[in-house]
Amino acid sequence: MAVPGNNYFQDFEITWGGGRGKILNNGELITLSLDKDSGSGFESKNEYLFGKIDMQIKLVPGNSAGTVTAYYLSSQGENHDEIDFEFLGNTTGEPYTVHTNLYTEGKGEREQQFHLWFDPTSDFHTFSILWNPQTIVFSVDNTPIREFKNMETKMVKFPKNQGMKLYSSIWNADQWATRGGLIKTDWTQAPFTATYTNFTANACTVGGGSSCASSADENRPWMSEILDPTAEEKLKWVQKNYMIYNYCTDAKRFPLGFPPECNAA
């Protein structure tokens, strides 16, 4: 439960949106809104290099078709790394799509998409990223939905050298977001608002007080965390029942053969 006055967001700043993004209740909540003129976004002041990062998010309720809410870790520059959640809105009563991707040194094209086993607009749910030298795990309410293991021995690059900030933003993407662009944003429903609370980062920060070089491993169990058998089972359950797109099975996209991680995994 949120304790009033808990400043989860002291290390964040609203970076764009002309007042459409707000840090509220002494840092207990952030809201990001989108209307016809603009979306909005925030970012962390810290750059993280490995960590376990949790955020509770309540997505745009009602008719959110055409809107995209992105929530991701990213480094800077052409050869950037990125760990990406994007939430693609939908018409009332139709499921949201959770779109995930992963860039290593500038190379992405690793999309997996999911539906959820609950309505992400009626309450807060926890979206987590575990990132350590062994693995990257995307989770929803502690249920892993996607894992990208370190497969450097199979010549697959893994993000481990570049610090990443945490970003979120909401924008209009009705050219493609909902049913391939068929469904347009209904501006009579604006503003479209996503809400964030209970941010926690058990993480190493770049240049900050909690770099991994300065604290012992036993203080950061997430640095060696991997999925246990129960978590593996949950991951399989999600991938079997809720995954709606997997680049590793989309042969049309890769006529010259799948990327190496598809065969290694």
Ligand X SMILES: *[C@@H]1O[C@H](CO)[C@@H](O)[C@H](O)[C@H]1NC(C)=O
- Distance between CA atoms of residues 70 and 74, nearest Å: 12
User: Rule CB under 6 A: which residues touch ligand X?
Assistant: 88, 90, 94-95, 97, 177-179
Least separation in angstroms between CB 254 and ligand X: 22
Nearer to ligand X, 98 or 227 (CB): 98
- Distance between CA atoms of residues 242 and 118, nearest Å: 11
- For 111-115, the CB contacts below 8 A with 24+ separation are 111/245, 111/247, 112/146, 112/243, 112/245, 112/246, 112/247, 113/243, 113/244, 113/245, 114/145, 114/146, 114/238, 114/242, 114/243, 114/244, 115/242, 115/244
Q: Which tokens hold the place of 109?
A: 């094209």
Nearer to ligand X, 181 or 260 (CB): 181
Least separation in angstroms between CB 129 and ligand X: 21
Least separation in angstroms between CB 46 and ligand X: 31
Q: Which residue among 86, 111, 152, 233 is the active-site one?
A: 86
Q: Has 78 been annotated as catalytic?
A: no
- Distance between CA atoms of residues 89 and 250, nearest Å: 23
Least separation in angstroms between CB 100 and ligand X: 13
Nearer to ligand X, 27 or 95 (CB): 95
Q: Which residue among 82, 105, 147, 225 is the active-site one?
A: 82
Residue where the block lists tokens 């970012």: 43
Least separation in angstroms between CB 180 and ligand X: 8
Q: Has 105 been annotated as catalytic?
A: no
C-alpha 129, offset from chain centre: 7
Nearer to ligand X, 199 or 247 (CB): 247
| Residue 255 CB partners (closer than 8 Å, separation 6+) | none
Residue number closest to ligand X, CB atom:
94
Nearer to ligand X, 12 or 171 (CB): 171
Count of CB atoms situated within 10 Å of the CB of 226: 13
Residues annotated as part of the active site: 82, 86
